[in-house]
Amino acid sequence: MLASVRYFFLAFVVMISVGLNLVGSYIRAAHMNTSFEEILPVSNSNLQNLYGKYLWTGFGPYLKTLFPTPLQLWSNDKNLAVFSEYSKRITDEVKLTKLSIKTTQGIQFLDSNNIDISEIDFSILDKICMHFMDEKYSVTNSKAFQKAVLGSIQNRIIHGVVKENGVDKKAFFIKALIPISNTNQTEAVIEVYYDITASWKQMYNIQIGVTVIILAIISVIFVILAMTSIKAQKIINKQIEVNLELEEAKKKAEELSNQKSMFLANMSHELRTPLNSIIGFSDIIRNDSLGSLGNPQYQEYGNDIHSSGTHLLSLINDILDFSKAEADRLQVEQIEVDSIKMIKQCIRIVKPKADEAKITITDNSGDKHYILNADPKRLKQVFLNIMSNSIKFTPENGEVRVDVVANDNDKIIKIQISDTGIGIAPKDIAKVMQPFVQVESSLSKKHAGTGLGLPLTKKLVELMNGKFEITSEVGLGTTVTLTFSFLSSA
C-alpha cells in the first residue's frame, strides 16, 4: 500500500507541477499581452508619425538617391549624419535600446548606437509562456520583415545577448518593425528594440509565485486526502482482520460443535455398553434365569457387572477431571513418588489386557529409582492412560515398550512409552490433542472412546510441572515422552 501511495504521490507532483507551470505561464502571458498592448501601439505609432511626417519628409527623397550606391560610400554623407543624429536623440529620449533603419531590401543604412543584439533560445518556462502569448509577438523574423514592407507594424519578443563595450548581457526585447512611407508605398523600415527584461522578470516571478501558492494549497489538500485514504485503508484492513477472525472463530465453533456432537455419540455408545451389561446380567440374577443363586455362573456375571460399573465410573471420572482441568479447578498433590515403582505397577495392571490382545510389553525402566514431586493418583492415571492407549491401537503381535532416560546432573528424567501401532499422521497430532477428537482408522472405530484420554493426560502432566510430547508416523507407531524433574535417585 505504501509503495502505491508513494508512486501515486510522485505522479501527482509531476502532473501538478506541469499543470501549474502551464497555468502560471498563461497568467504571465496574459499580463504581458495586456501590458504590451497598452505601451507598444502608442510608441510605435509615435515613431511612425515622427519619421513619416517629419524626418523622412525632409531626408527621405535625398536618402533614396543613395540606395543604389554602395553602402561604404554613405559613411561620409553629411545629410545622413544629420539624420543619424536625430535618430540617436530619439533613441535616448524614448529610451530605446537600439534603433536602426533598413531599406525595403533589408540593407541597414542607419544604426543609433554600437550595441549588438544576437538572439538566443528561450528557456523551457519561457517557451511555455511564449506558447500562450499573442501570435503577433511570435512571428518569424523573415515573415515579420515582409509584413512590415507591406505596410503593417510588426512586434516580436526575442531573448537576446546584448554586446556593449565588450560586455555580454542577457535580456528580453520586443523587436518592432515600423514601416516608413511618405506615399502609399513603404520606402524604409525602422527596426526598434524595446527592453522588457524588467517586465519579463516581474511576470516570471508572478508565475513562480502563483505556481508555488497553488502547489502548496493542492499539496495540503493532497496530504489531507492521503491521510484520510491511509486511515480509511487501515480501517478497511482492520475490518478485514476482524472478518477473518470472525470467520476463524466461526470455523472453530463449528469444529467444536462437531467434536461435541461426536463426543456425545461416542459417550452414548460408551455408556450404553456397560449399562446394557449391568442391566442384562442383573435381570438374569434377579429372575433366577439360571436357577438358584448357588449357580457358579452367577459369580461370573457379578464380575461382569462390577467390571462394567468400574468402566462406567472411569468414563464419568474422565469427564469430570477434564471439566475441572479446563476450568483450572483440578487439584493435584505434590508429594514424593517413586516413578519407577509406579511404572512397574502400571505395567502389571495392563499386562493382562496386553496378553489378551497378543501384544508384548517390554519394560526398560531399569532398577534405579527416581523420586518425583507429584500426585501418585494422577501420575498412575497418566501412565495407565498412555499404556492403555498404546495397547488399544496396536495390532496383534505388536509391542509396547517403556524406556527411562535420566540426566543425573540436571536431575531430569524422560519416560518414553512407545508402540508399534497404527500411528498418527504428523498433521493430525495437533487434532488428537484436542478434546472429543479421534482420528479415523479401523482400530479407532473398533475402540470408540471419549476422545478425552490424551488431552486429559497432557493436562495432568502439566499440572505436575511436567512436559508432554508426542511423535508419531502412520504405520510405524507412536511415542509419548514425559519429562519431569526428580528430587533424588537411588
Residue 448 pLDDT > 50: no
Distances in Å between the alpha carbon of 386 and those of 238, 393, 463? Answer: 44, 11, 17
Q: Please tell me the distance from the alpha carbon of residue 17 to that of residue 22, in angstroms, as a whole number.
A: 9
Residue 139 pLDDT > 50: no
Is pLDDT larger for residue 484 or for residue 220?
484
Residue 141 pLDDT > 90: no
Can you tell me which residue has the cell 527584461? 197
Mean pLDDT for the stretch of residues 185-189 = 88
Residue 88, all three cell numbers: 540617436
Q: Is there a contact between 391 and 381 (Cβ–Cβ < 8 Å)?
A: no
Tell which residue, 421, 429, 405, has the closest CA to residue 482: 405
Is pLDDT larger for residue 267 or for residue 134?
267
Check residue 359 and give its pLDDT. 95
119 — pLDDT class (breaks 50, 70, 90): confident
Residue 124 pLDDT > 60: no
**Lowest-confidence region among 56-70, 202-216, 245-259, 271-285:** 271-285
Mean pLDDT, rounded, of the chain: 78
Q: Please tell me the distance from the alpha carbon of residue 323 to that of residue 94, in angstroms, as a whole number.
A: 109
Cβ count within 10 A of residue 383: 24
**Lowest-confidence region among 63-72, 280-289, 468-477:** 280-289
Burial of 239 (0-12, 13-18, 19+ CB in 10 A): exposed
Check residue 54 and give its pLDDT. 81
Check residue 155 and give its pLDDT. 81
Mean pLDDT for the stretch of residues 177-205 = 83
Ranges for all domains in the chain classified under CATH 3.30.565.10? 331-489
Residue 281 pLDDT > 60: yes
pTM: 0.45
Check residue 362 and give its pLDDT. 94
Q: Please tell me the distance from the alpha carbon of residue 16 to that of residue 483, in angstroms, as a whole number.
A: 69
Distances in Å between the alpha carbon of 155 and those of 58, 143, 454? Answer: 27, 11, 100
Check residue 214 and give its pLDDT. 80
**Lowest-confidence region among 46-55, 157-166, 277-286, 396-405:** 277-286
Check residue 445 and give its pLDDT. 44
Q: Please tell me the distance from the alpha carbon of residue 392 to that of residue 448, in angstroms, as a whole number.
A: 10
447 — pLDDT class (breaks 50, 70, 90): very low
- CA R_g for the chain: 55
Look at domain 331-489 and name its CATH class: alpha beta
Check residue 28 and give its pLDDT. 55
Mean pLDDT for the stretch of residues 212-240 = 86
- The residue type found at 70 is P
DSSP assignment letter at 358: T
Residue 354 pLDDT > 90: yes
Distances in Å between the alpha carbon of 407 and those of 342, 412, 414, 468? Answer: 19, 5, 9, 17
Share of the chain above pLDDT 70, in %: 70
Residue 125 pLDDT > 80: no
Residue 26 pLDDT > 80: no
Mean pLDDT for the stretch of residues 235-248 = 90
Can you tell me which residue has the cell 517557451? 127
- The residue type found at 143 is K
Pairing status of strand 98-103 against strand 188-195: antiparallel
Tell which residue, 163, 166, 186, 61, has the closest CA to residue 115: 163
